[in-house]
Chains A and B, each alone.
Chain A
Amino acid sequence: MAGPTDDPEPLLKLESISKRYGATLALDNASFDLRAGEVHALMGENGAGKSTLMKVLAGNITRDSGRILMDGKEIEIRSARDARAHGIAIIHQELNTVPQMTVAENLSLGQEPVTGLRMLDRRAMLDSAREKLATTGSDIDPRKPLGSLSVGRQQMVEIARAIGENARVLVLDEPTAALSRAEAEQLYTLIAKMRAEGVGLVYISHRMEEVWRLADRVTVFRDGCFVGTNRMKDTSPQEVVRMMVGRSVGHLYEHPDRNPGKSVLSVRDLSGDGVEGPISFDVHAGEVVAMAGLVGAGRTEVARLIFGAGRRTNGTVFVNGRASEPADPSDAIADGIGMLPEDRKIQGLFLDHTVAANISISSLLQFVRAGVLREKLEREAVEQEMKRLNLRSNAIRLPVKALSGGNQQKAAVARWLLRDSDVLIMDEPTRGVDIGAKREIYEMIQELAEAGKAILVISSDLPEAIGISDRVLVMRHGRIVHEMSSACATEQDVMFHATGTAAQDAPAGEEVLQ
Chain B
Amino acid sequence: MNQKDETVRRQPLQMEKEPFDFARWWDRVGILIVLLALVAFMSIFAPNFARVDNLFNIARSISVNAILAAGMTFVILTKGIDLSVGSTVAVSGVVAVLAAIAGVPAPIAILSGMLVGAACGIVNGALVAYMGLAPFIVTLGLMTFLRGLAYTMTEGQPIVSSSLNFKAFGSGYIADVPIPVITMIVVYIIAWFVLERTRFGRHIYAVGGNEEAAELAGVRVKRILTAVYVIAGLCAGLAGVIFAARVISAQPTAGTGYELDAIAAVVLGGTSLSGGRGRIIGTLIGAVILGVLSTGLILMDVPSSPSF
Contact = CB atoms under 8 A, between A and B. Distances in A.
A390 B210 contact: no
A188 interface: no
Contact of B13 (A371, A395, A436): A395
Nearest to B208: A350
A440 interface: yes
B217 A415 contact: yes
B13 A361 contact: no
Contact of A362 (B8, B210, B218): B218
Contacts of A390: 8, 10-11
A434 to B, nearest CB: 8
Contacts of B217: 329, 361-362, 415
B206 A350 contact: yes
Contacts of A392: 13
A329 B218 contact: yes
A392 B16 CA distance: 10
Interface string B59-90: 00000000000000000000000000000000
A258 to B, nearest CB: 12
A439 B277 contact: no
A407 B15 CA distance: 13
Contacts of A439: 1, 7-8
Interface centre among B2, B201, B213 (most CB of A within 10 A): B213
| Chain B at the A interface: SS class | loop
A371 B213 contact: no
Contacts of B203: 361, 364
Contact of A249 (B7, B11, B219, B277): B7
A379 to B, nearest CB: 14
A137 B205 CA distance: 47
Interface in B5-20: 6-16, 19
B213 A348 contact: yes
Contacts of B163: none
B213 A349 contact: yes
Contacts of B199: 364-365, 368, 373
B197 A22 contact: no
A376 interface: no
B28 interface: no
Contacts of A23: 16
A360 B202 CA distance: 10
Interface residues of A, number: 61
Contact of A357 (B12, B197, B202, B215): B202
A332 B199 CA distance: 19
B107 to A, nearest CB: 25
Contact of B14 (A245, A332, A404): A404
Given A346-B212, A357-B205, A330 B220 contact: yes
A44 interface: no
Interface in A200-255: 223, 245-250, 254-255
B4 interface: yes
Contacts of B13: 392, 394-395, 403-404, 407
A350 B220 contact: no
Given A255-B1, A330-B218, A372-B197, A347 B11 contact: no
Given A22-B19, A254-B1, A349-B213, A361 B219 contact: yes
Nearest to B207: A350
B206 A361 contact: yes
A246 B6 CA distance: 11
Nearest to A440: B8
A245 to B, nearest CB: 5
Contact of B4 (A245, A402, A437, A443): A443
Interface centre among B4, B9, B10 (most CB of A within 10 A): B9
A391 B9 CA distance: 12
Contact of B216 (A245, A348, A364, A436): A348
A22 B206 CA distance: 33
Contact of A329 (B1, B215, B276): B215
A442 interface: yes
Interface centre among A346, A353, A394 (most CB of B within 10 A): A353
Contact of A402 (B10, B15, B215): B15
B11 A350 contact: no
B209 interface: yes
Interface residues of B, number: 37
A64 interface: no
Contacts of B209: 350-353
A12 interface: no
B219 A330 contact: yes
A406 interface: yes
A433 B287 CA distance: 45
A364 B219 CA distance: 11
Contacts of A250: 3, 6-7
Nearest to A443: B1
A510 B272 CA distance: 47
Given A255-B1, A362-B218, A437-B11, A347 B213 contact: yes
B216 A347 contact: yes
Interface centre among A249, A329, A439 (most CB of B within 10 A): A329
Contact of B202 (A256, A334, A373, A446): A373
B202 A47 contact: no
Contacts of B198: 368, 371-373
Interface string B240-272: 000000000000000000000000000000000
Nearest to B10: A390
B17 to A, nearest CB: 8
A396 B216 CA distance: 22
A341 B212 CA distance: 10
Nearest to B201: A373
A95 interface: no
Contacts of A361: 202-203, 206, 214, 217-219
A328 B12 contact: no
B14 A403 contact: yes
Contacts of A329: 215-218
A350 B8 contact: no
Contacts of B277: 352
Contacts of A349: 210, 213
Contacts of A247: 6-7, 9
What are the 9 closest A-B residue pairs judged by CB atoms, nearest first?
A: A350-B209, A333-B218, A364-B199, A330-B218, A361-B217, A362-B218, A362-B217, A436-B9, A350-B210
Given A348-B213, A352-B276, A394-B13, 11 more contacts: A329-B217, A333-B218, A341-B213, A347-B216, A350-B213, A373-B201, A373-B202, A407-B11, A436-B11, A440-B8, A443-B8
16 contacts: A255-B1, A329-B215, A350-B209, A351-B209, A352-B276, A361-B218, A373-B201, A373-B202, A392-B13, A394-B13, A402-B14, A402-B15, A407-B13, A436-B11, A439-B8, A443-B1
